[in-house]
Amino acid sequence: MKETTTTHLDDILFVEPNTPETETLRELMWEEFWIALDELPPEQKDVFVWNEFDDLTFDEIAKRTGENPKTLISRKRYAVQKLRKRLAVMRDDYLQD
């Protein structure tokens, strides 16, 4: 069973029906996501990427890095919080325009 925290990026990214407007906003949100991801501290970014995109468990990441799995879970949680906050602000700004 994969150990993971729930990111719920769909809660922030646009998941409404595809229209030209939502497609453009979705592209802008993904661009902002990648920028925000690059701005995370390396240890948070690495854990997020390994767990979410490389589909590694926290135990697998712990073996790779020598870190405690609970430390890795915490780092990912901080990464998710920062990403959510950054993307939510951007999304709210776009929806108000």
What CATH number is attached to the domain comprising 83?
1.10.10
Three-state SS at 2: coil
- pLDDT 10s digits, 27-37: 888 899 999 99
In a domain, 72, yes or no: yes
Q: Does residue 21 lie within any of the structural domains?
A: no
- pLDDT at residue number 90: 79
Please report whether residue 12 resides in a domain.
Answer: no
At residue 16 the predicted structure's pLDDT band, cuts being 50, 70 and 90, is low
Residue 41 pLDDT level (bands cut at 50, 70, 90)? very high
Residues 72, 75, 81, 85: is their CA dihedral positive or negative? Answer: negative
Considering the domain boundaries, does residue 8 fall inside one? Answer: no
pLDDT confidence bin for 88, thresholds 50/70/90: confident
24 belongs to a structural domain: no
pTM recorded for the entire structure = 0.75
Does residue 4 lie within any of the structural domains? no
Percent of the chain scoring above 90 in pLDDT: 56
The total number of structural domains in the chain stands at: 1
Residue 70 lies in a domain: yes
The answer to the question of residue 34 being in a domain is: no
| Average pLDDT of span 43-51 | 98
Closest CA to 53 of 69, 34, 39: 34
- What is d(CA 48, CA 33) in angstroms, rounded to the nearest whole number? 12
Q: What range does the domain containing 53 cover?
A: 41-97
